[in-house]
């Protein structure tokens, strides 16, 4: 039964990876290189395999990664399940797709999506979500993004969206800057039949994974179709490169998945496929005027419910 479920999930993850690579690669003037890898069992490290798809220097995407992995380990790390610490140390299997896309055009936002499925013996749980990081903000994009998130959740559980939206706002926050990473979305973890607030059966959890993956595909494609050909200035480009420094800071200082991967001996290049192709730092913001348009979304408007 457990094997059969894992096979179902894995099938969906491959389909999702293929769809994302086709839509944001071939159809947008770029192409993803697929790097398939296998790691044999041994020395307590994770064993398993995956396909890291990476696009660099595309017409639309300056850098994008769509990484699928399916790994097994003999000892579940404590960081993998906050709600079930008694599972730490058990044999486990983890599979998922992680996506970060850095478009070239500063009017087009960076996006991130992850869906994952864990099992340890007879215990299983799902996690996932997506969030958006604009440089030049458009309220139309933000509202559409949250609507897609809400609709993906609502098909499975009406409780899920408000919980996952708040979790996303809390998680994607740069404490040292006092700024959100972006305009949010949804983020959930440790979801199964016992989840407080959003208990889901396995079938519902798997349905949510598919809704979330597909909603990300459609919602981000819609944003990209609106913004990828917008003419932009050197000034907007410089500002984007500066703001991308914040993305680096979040991923390297705060992101638990990145830190866990780097510290546990994961595949560095696959983990850091989330890094932007180019990022700038300066002592002061290079453009207070562009700050004045963006920063309200990351500070005072942070956590706003865009759908009411």
Query: Which residues would be at the binding site for its own copies (CB under 8 A)?
Result: 33, 35, 52, 54, 56, 63, 65, 175-177, 241, 245, 248-249, 252-253, 259, 262-263, 265, 268-269, 271-273, 275-284
Is the CB of residue 109 less than 8 Å from the CB of residue 134?
yes
**Alpha-carbon distances of 124 from 90, 186, 204, 207, rounded to whole Å:** 12, 20, 13, 15
Closer to its own copies by Cβ: residue 39 or 280: 280
256: left (phi over 0), alpha (psi -120 to 50) or beta: alpha
In angstroms, give the least distance from the CB of 222 to its own copies: 27
Q: What is the DSSP letter of 299?
A: T
Give 136 or 275: the residue with its C-beta nearer to its own copies.
Answer: 275
CB of 21 to its own copies, least distance (A): 14
Tell me whether strands 47-56 and 61-73 are parallel, antiparallel or unpaired.
Answer: antiparallel
Instruction: Give φ, ψ of 199 to 5 degrees.
Output: -70, 130
Q: For residues 62 and 141, which CB has a smaller minimum distance to its own copies in the complex? A: 62
CB of 281 to its own copies, least distance (A): 4
* Exposed/middle/buried for residue 128 (C-beta within 10 Å: 0-12, 13-18, 19+): buried
- Pick 209 or 271: Cβ nearer its own copies: 271
Residue with tokens 């959100």: 180
227 vs 115, 137, 164, 185, 291, CA distance in Å? 25, 11, 27, 19, 19
Question: How far apart, in whole angstroms, are the C-alpha atoms of residue 110 and residue 100?
Answer: 7
Question: For its own copies, which is the closer residue by CB, 6 or 252?
Answer: 252
Q: Are 96 and 115 in contact (CB under 8 A)?
A: yes
CB of 169 to its own copies, least distance (A): 20
| CA-based radius of gyration for the chain | 19
Number of CB atoms found within 10 A of residue 248's CB: 15
- Catalytic residue list: 112
Minimum distance, C-beta of residue 145 to its own copies, in the bound complex (Å): 25
């Amino acid at each position: 039964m457990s094997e059969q479920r894992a096979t179902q999930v894995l099938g969906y993850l491959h389909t999702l990876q293929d769809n994302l690579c086709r839509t944001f690669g071939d159809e947008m003037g770029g192409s993803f290189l697929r790097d398939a890898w296998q790691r044999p069992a041994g020395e307590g490290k994770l064993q398993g395999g995956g396909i890291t798809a990476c696009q660099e220097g595309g017409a639309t995407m300056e850098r994008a990664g769509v990484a699928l992995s399916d790994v097994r380990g003999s000892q579940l790390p404590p960081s993998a399940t906050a709600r079930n610490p008694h599972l730490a140390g058990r044999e486990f299997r983890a599979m998922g797709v992680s996506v970060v896309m850095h478009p070239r055009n500063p009017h087009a936002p960076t996006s991130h999506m992850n869906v994952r499925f864990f099992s340890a013996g007879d215990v299983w749980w799902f996690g996932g979500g997506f969030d958006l990081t604009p440089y030049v903000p458009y309220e139309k994009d933000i509202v559409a993004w949250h609507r897609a998130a809400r609709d993906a959740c609502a098909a499975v559980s009406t409780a899920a969206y408000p919980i996952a939206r708040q979790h996303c706002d809390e998680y994607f926050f740069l404490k040292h800057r006092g700024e959100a990473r972006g305009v949010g979305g949804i983020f959930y973890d440790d979801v199964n039949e016992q989840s407080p607030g959003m208990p889901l059966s396995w079938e519902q959890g798997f349905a949510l994974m598919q809704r979330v993956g597909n909603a990300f595909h459609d919602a981000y494609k819609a944003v990209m179709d609106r913004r990828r050909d917008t003419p932009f200035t050197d000034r907007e480009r410089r500002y984007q490169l500066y703001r991308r420094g914040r993305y680096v800071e979040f991923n390297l200082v705060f992101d638990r998945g990145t830190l866990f991967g780097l510290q546990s001996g994961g595949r560095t290049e696959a983990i850091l496929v989330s890094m932007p192709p180019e990022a700038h730092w300066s002592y002061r913001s290079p453009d207070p005027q562009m700050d004045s348009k963006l920063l309200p979304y990351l500070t005072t408007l942070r956590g706003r419910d865009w759908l009411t």
